[in-house]
Amino acid sequence: MFQKILIANRGEIALRVLRACKELGIQTVVVHSTADADAMHVRLADESVCIGPPPSRDSYLNIHQIVAACEITGADAVHPGYGFLSENAKFADILAAHNITFIGPSGDHIRIMGDKIEAKRTAKRLGIPVVPGSDGAVTDQKEARRIAAEIGYPVIIKASAGGGGRGMKVALTEADLEVALQTASTEAGAAFGDDAVYIEKYLEKPRHIEVQVFGDGFGRGVHFGERDCSLQRRHQKVWEEAPSPALNAEERARIGGICAKAIADLGYSGAGTIEFLYENGEFYFIEMNTRLQVEHPVTEAITGIDLVHEQIRVASGGGLSVKQEDIKFNGHAIECRINAEDPRTFTPSPGTITHFHTPGGLGIRVDSGVYSGYKIPPYYDSLIGKLIVHGRNRVECMMRLRRALDEFVVDGIKTTLPLFRDLVGNADIANGDYDIHWLEKSLAKEE
């Protein structure tokens, strides 16, 4: 097992990883920018190293400084959290070259999944159902027209190097295709330095359902069920739940089994998430994330398994603590992402939190790095905490969530808490009757 883990992240996820390390008796080092000197994870860690000024590229993305911090403190492993360097293959390779363990998959697996065309090809080869579309990059208008006619309109043009919902264009008919192809490719070139785009069928009313998987490092794969993350705004998840209200046990076991087998065949090691769009009973792979997800606590709530413990065990060569048959699903969990944003316009609202009171009681978990008097720096993303609620079934979970939202107080800044208070009282949400467009449509109606 590791002696000392360096946590290369900030905010709630740095604290989350720190807690797992403490439970396992592992020493912790955190790195931080000058803007985060007062952060909770810095106060609670055994050691901390300031690695640079506030902009991420000079601190949390500065590989050189992070490796230096490992060497100075004698850390033998790095947990990257999510975002920042968590899906940076070069970072994983550099750590390996320094004999420091990257708590995540190999650089090669990160690379395959970071290129969407390659990822889709790999998924298809491994028997994972994919969205019908081009086999690889499409550059030629004639070829684009032929493929689009074959799969049928509407189609979506996506950037191979895409991420964060950028570089995507929908063509409703052949008349839109030429412009869509050109603009997607130009935008992709400008945003990612790679103008390769591909075409796939545009699904009109899908749900976003993702499967949590793990490779144990010895060629075995397991799944921890799915999460439904269909409530999104600008392709950003807002509310996540497990299990999905749309799946039955047979569908869950089928897609979970396909994913676990794929992970085993790939020889993948560590945590991963295989993301699908789901429509009319069919799953369509869109991408795989090779890291821990923001929404992992809903899976922890229904399985009772600490996924960060498992990541650390696997990375240290100790394998998983569970086999597939030990993973049982119990009840229902919902996570609300609490952002420091205006709940209507979603513009960021940094500033000082004058009062912070979190709900408690059975089935309530709050993962957050903030406290009363904490000043939110304006440099990073606006997530300040996550409220995760568990109940024996979805109805109980929703009742408890409503109560927890009532108790939650964050003063001094605007947050998305009022949005969740509306959602928990909505009939469609109560019925689990929503797709990936539901939230944006519902917000547009209010304007």
Report the catalytic residues: 291
Give exposure, 121-130, as e/b (b: 16+ Cβ within 10 Å). ebbeebebeb
Report DSSP state, residue 92: H
**Could you give the angle at the alpha carbon of 303 between the alpha carbons of 302 and 305, nearest 5°?**
130
CA 312 to chain centre: 18
Query: Which of 26, 94, 286, 353 is in the footprint of ligand ADP by CB under 6 A?
Result: 286
What mask of x and - would describe binding to ligand ADP in positions 102 to 141, judged by CB under 6 A?
Answer: -----------------------------x----------
Question: Which span sits near ligand ADP by CB under 6 A: 9-17, 71-79, 162-170, 339-347?
Answer: 162-170
Closer CB to ligand ADP, residue 168 or residue 409?
A: 168
- Report CA-CA distances (Å) from 211 to 164, 226, 257: 19, 4, 10
- H-helix or E-strand containing 202? none
Closer CB to ligand ADP, residue 134 or residue 311?
A: 134
Question: Which span sits near ligand ADP by CB under 6 A: 21-29, 68-76, 194-202, 412-420?
Answer: 194-202
Q: Is 31 in the site for ligand ADP (CB under 6 A)?
A: no
Closer CB to ligand ADP, residue 195 or residue 287?
A: 287
Question: Which span sits near ligand ADP by CB under 6 A: 95-103, 160-168, 357-365, 413-421?
Answer: 160-168
CB of 325 to ligand ADP, least distance (A): 31
Strand-pairing partners, residue 352, are 375
Q: Is 314 in the site for ligand ADP (CB under 6 A)?
A: no
Q: How many other C-beta atoms are found inside a 10 Å radius of the C-beta of residue 23?
A: 12
Closer CB to ligand ADP, residue 171 or residue 298?
A: 171
Closer CB to ligand ADP, residue 355 or residue 441?
A: 441
Instruction: Work out whether the CA dihedral 347, 348, 353, 357 comes out positive or negative.
Output: positive
Q: Is 410 exposed, middle or buried (0-12, 13-18, 19+ CB in 10 A)?
A: buried
CB of 172 to ligand ADP, least distance (A): 12
Question: Which span sits near ligand ADP by CB under 6 A: 3-11, 155-163, 375-383, 419-427?
Answer: 155-163
CB of 286 to ligand ADP, least distance (A): 4
Q: Which two tokens stand for residue 214?
A: 């793990």
Report DSSP state, residue 326: G
- Cβ–Cβ under 8 Å, residues 79 and 311: yes
Question: Which span sits near ligand ADP by CB under 6 A: 158-166, 339-347, 401-409, 411-419?
Answer: 158-166
What mask of x and - would describe binding to ligand ADP in positions 215 to 244, judged by CB under 6 A?
Answer: --------------------x---------
Closer CB to ligand ADP, residue 63 or residue 151?
A: 151
Q: Which two tokens stand for residue 48?
A: 């901390």
Length of the chain equals: 447
Q: Is 287 in the site for ligand ADP (CB under 6 A)?
A: yes
Residue with the two structure tokens 């964060």: 164
Closer CB to ligand ADP, residue 277 or residue 376?
A: 277
Count of residues that bind ligand ADP according to CB under 6 A: 19
Q: Is 208 in the site for ligand ADP (CB under 6 A)?
A: yes
Q: Is 165 in the site for ligand ADP (CB under 6 A)?
A: yes
CB of 275 to ligand ADP, least distance (A): 6
- Cβ–Cβ under 8 Å, residues 261 and 213: no
- H-helix or E-strand containing 196? none
Query: Which of 85, 128, 156, 383 is in the footprint of ligand ADP by CB under 6 A?
Result: 156
Q: Which two tokens stand for residue 379?
A: 């440099």
Query: Which of 2, 102, 198, 202 is in the footprint of ligand ADP by CB under 6 A?
Result: 202
Report DSSP state, residue 440: H
Report DSSP state, residue 377: P
Task: Supply φ then ψ for residue 200, to 5 degrees.
Answer: -140, 165
Residue 361's identity, in one-letter code, is G
CB of 440 to ligand ADP, least distance (A): 10
Q: Is 204 exposed, middle or buried (0-12, 13-18, 19+ CB in 10 A)?
A: exposed
Return the residues of window 40-69 that contact ligand ADP according to CB under 6 A: none
Q: Is 343 in the site for ligand ADP (CB under 6 A)?
A: no
Cα–Cα dist 188/200, whole Å? 16
Query: Which of 187, 195, 200, 435 is in the footprint of ligand ADP by CB under 6 A?
Result: 200
In terms of Cα–Cα distance, which of 141, 323, 128 is closest to 221? 323
Query: Which of 163, 189, 319, 348 is in the footprint of ligand ADP by CB under 6 A?
Result: 163
In terms of Cα–Cα distance, which of 222, 252, 241, 247 is closest to 295? 241
Return the residues of window 351-390 that contact ligand ADP according to CB under 6 A: none
CB of 231 to ligand ADP, least distance (A): 11
Which residues would be at the binding site for ligand ADP (CB under 6 A)? 131, 156, 162-166, 200-203, 206, 208, 235, 275, 277, 286-287, 436
